[in-house]
Chain A
């Protein structure tokens, strides 16, 4: 009974693909709509390369290849930012790597590809900060405390113990522990020569520095 229905559905999908396959590849807006609708009905078009969606719409290859590119960019920059990168910078670097003639990639595309990469166990994660996201690509433990400090740092690219105390009302010890953890993981750099007090900078937020590579 199911195999018959499946066959019918497959031909519907084939018909759809022959008309609109290009649209999926070319239009980030269409991809977004497609993904949202799939999620609403409880279907994951990216679950398997062997699924109908991947096979006929080619939507799988687009995201899986993007996954490879994301992994490579994160690996290349890890030594500098400790495994944290803004979604904007990731997008810029990925677009650069894809070259002149590749299709456009939206931030939503990147987020979906990253969500799929989580299952590989190497620490991929997404942290909301400010109006955007930080992408984590190392298996470092970042709990709520760390995340909240990252969000605080996003405004200026750095944060101090006093700021944490003022904004979050934490004790010095708690603030110091979080900052030390970020230092150890290579995600934060210490400027001990700052005028008022030591500043903890996040290289992930230094887009200007990276722009000239």
Chain B
């Protein structure tokens, strides 16, 4: 920590701010120092730290002093850190908080994250060495000639003013955004109230309301993201949108299902479909609601829910019970198998492999051996040999 010098924190001419991060603590090697919480700024020339409470307390070290840096991942109760190894302080270094240090490195603790981005930027700056091509002069030295000092002061004040304006602009944008957000929410609230009163009317006039109007109401709820107060179904399930979606899915999933032995978990489907779409992604609820309609629309796929709650899409032609017979053969050949082993053998996901084995067990074909070493399935000899 003896490589640091006191500074005003103002950027010099030719020096640009690269990135900054709040909530950073400095340590002198392995020892904690009083610089517990502050903003860490990276410029093209220096690493600057300013105490978040006392803005007068501001220190900096030139990037040219850095030998190399390393990352330290976060641990239990510890923040992620960057370790910065430094050259010994030069003899004409400006005065700083420490005269000497027994360490040749410091640690930057990122208590509010941001370490990944900061590390990347710091690496870039150290590699590019932009400070070499953008000389700034020793602006902080006491003995500079007064004329040059005056010019530099104007330059610094100008830069400071720009930073202040930018900060104010950002603040203004943010508060405007929050204000607009509040107004928007007021209107949204009105919509929620309106939907509740309509729902009540529907309940009362049960029969007076047409099928058409009910469907339209459901799609209004879907647009607003309001739960259906009448049926208490999840948001707008069974709408026109979900019907169309179901038909689309039947088309999209035919080939992938065939490639995967006729069965896929709903999470696999979610990833597959959304990765393919790129934009205008489906919400998990959209997917579930569409899949619930597959059977009633007589599409060649169906949704199946196992006892464990795991949800899958199967081809209509897929018969899980038949697959169980094949699974039994596989298990018998090997004597016994865990879900992991079976999955690897057959080329299935572990999730679905486990479900198949559990189904086989439910049908009486397999027995389980449940120990701390895992869940293992054996052919049910009680059945075959008794």
Contacts and interface: CB of A to CB of B under 8 A. Distances in A.
Interface residues of B, number: 73
Given A41-B188, A48-B286, A208-B73, A121 B226 contact: no
Nearest to B351: A122
Contacts of B68: none
Interface in A78-126: 78, 88, 91-92, 95-96, 100, 104, 116-123
Contacts of A67: 270, 274, 284
A47 B220 CA distance: 13
A102 B371 CA distance: 44
A174 interface: no
A211 B181 contact: no
B380 interface: no
Contact of B225 (A19, A51, A92, A123): A51
B192 to A, nearest CB: 5
Interface in A24-44: 27, 30, 33-34, 37-38, 40-44
B281 A65 contact: yes
B287 to A, nearest CB: 7
Contacts of B191: 5-6, 9
B379 interface: no
Contacts of B375: 184
Nearest to A208: B75
B284 A116 contact: yes
Interface string B155-193: 000000000000000000110111011101101111110
Given A45-B225, A51-B224, A190 B194 contact: no
Interface string B56-96: 00000000000000011111110010000000000000000
A37 B192 CA distance: 13
B103 interface: no
Contact of B281 (A19, A49, A91): A49
A13 B370 contact: no
A47 B237 CA distance: 10
Interface in B209-247: 216-217, 220, 222-227, 234-236, 241
Interface residues of chain A: helix, strand, loop or mixed (majority)? helix
A119 B288 contact: yes
Contact of A53 (B72, B198, B225): B225
B316 to A, nearest CB: 20
Contacts of A12: 184, 187
A64 B276 CA distance: 13
Contacts of A49: 280-283, 286
B309 A121 contact: yes
Contacts of B116: 92, 95-96
A100 B234 CA distance: 37
A20 to B, nearest CB: 5
A77 to B, nearest CB: 13
Interface in A185-213: 186, 190, 205, 207-208, 210-212
Contacts of A96: 116
A38 B185 contact: yes
A45 B283 CA distance: 10
Given A51-B222, A122-B267, A117 B284 contact: yes
Interface centre among B177, B222, B287 (most CB of A within 10 A): B177
A116 B283 contact: yes
A137 to B, nearest CB: 9
Given A2-B198, A68-B274, A139-B309, A88 B74 contact: yes
Nearest to A122: B267
Contacts of A5: 190-191, 194
Interface of B: 71-77, 80, 113, 116-117, 120, 173-174, 176-178, 180-182, 184-185, 187-192, 194-195, 198, 216-217, 220, 222-227, 234-236, 241, 265-267, 270-271, 274-275, 279-288, 305, 308-311, 350-351, 370-372, 374-375
- 6 nearest A-B residue pairs (beta carbon): A211-B73, A121-B311, A47-B235, A64-B281, A41-B189, A44-B225
Interface of A: 2-3, 5-6, 8-10, 12-13, 16, 19-20, 23, 27, 30, 33-34, 37-38, 40-55, 60-61, 64-65, 67-68, 71-72, 78, 88, 91-92, 95-96, 100, 104, 116-123, 138-139, 154-157, 180, 183-184, 186, 190, 205, 207-208, 210-212
26 contacts: A2-B217, A5-B194, A6-B223, A9-B191, A20-B181, A23-B174, A30-B177, A33-B181, A37-B181, A41-B192, A43-B225, A47-B225, A48-B222, A49-B286, A51-B222, A64-B284, A92-B116, A119-B284, A120-B270, A139-B308, A155-B76, A156-B76, A157-B76, A207-B75, A207-B76, A211-B74
Given A9-B187, A30-B178, A38-B188, 15 more contacts: A5-B191, A8-B187, A16-B180, A30-B174, A30-B177, A38-B225, A46-B283, A48-B285, A48-B286, A64-B281, A65-B281, A67-B270, A117-B270, A122-B265, A139-B351
